[in-house]
């Protein structure tokens, strides 16, 4: 009788780990897609030499999209609103990135910021995934809820 209990708990542990891995994989996939979309919108804004938005329009658009995303978080519109928000952020960053790219040595400034951010994100993600350390105690600090 006891081997069955051990087998059942081992199977449940494997299923829980598989579920956790699937959630992590889907989260990183969505994060990478939204970052790519934001970078693409920034590249489009730089290539068309978009002019900076008025700060009130930019702030209102971001806050409005965040409120819309929060109110629709459990509907089918949450994913398109997420992409709208990241795309809007990318578009509004375009003129600033274009300004730095036009400056002397600007390409290295933008490149260092890009690769530095990527290196920190990847190293911290690898640390958390390999050590299995629980950072849920930061939940109250990181989330507004």
pLDDT tens figures, 50-82: 999 999 999 999 999 999 999 999 999 999 999
Q: Sorting pLDDT into bands at 50, 70 and 90, what band is 4?
A: low
Tokens 């990318």 sit at which residue?
90
pLDDT of residue 6: 53
d(CA 130, CA 27): 17
pLDDT of residue 134: 79
pLDDT of residue 12: 59
- pTM (2 decimals)? 0.72
d(CA 85, CA 15): 34
pLDDT tens figures, 85-130: 999 999 999 999 999 999 999 999 988 998 998 899 888 888 888 8
pLDDT of residue 14: 61
Q: Sorting pLDDT into bands at 50, 70 and 90, what band is 15?
A: low
Angle between helices 55-71 and 78-102 (to 10 degrees): 150
């Amino acid at each position: 009788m006891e081997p069955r209990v051990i087998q059942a708990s081992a199977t449940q542990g494997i299923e829980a780990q598989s579920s956790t891995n699937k959630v992590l994989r889907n989260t990183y996939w969505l994060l990478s897609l939204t970052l790519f979309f934001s970078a693409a919108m920034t590249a489009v804004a730089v290539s068309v030499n978009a002019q900076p938005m008025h700060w009130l329009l930019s702030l209102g658009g971001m806050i409005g999209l965040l409120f819309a995303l929060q109110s629709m978080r459990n509907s089918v519109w949450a994913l398109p609103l997420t992409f709208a928000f990241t795309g809007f952020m990318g578009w509004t960053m375009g003129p600033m990135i274009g300004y730095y790219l036009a400056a002397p040595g600007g390409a290295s400034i933008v490149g260092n910021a890009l690769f530095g951010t990527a290196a920190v994100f990847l190293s911290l993600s690898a640390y958390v995934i390999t050590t299995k350390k629980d950072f849920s105690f930061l939940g109250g600090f990181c989330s507004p809820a």
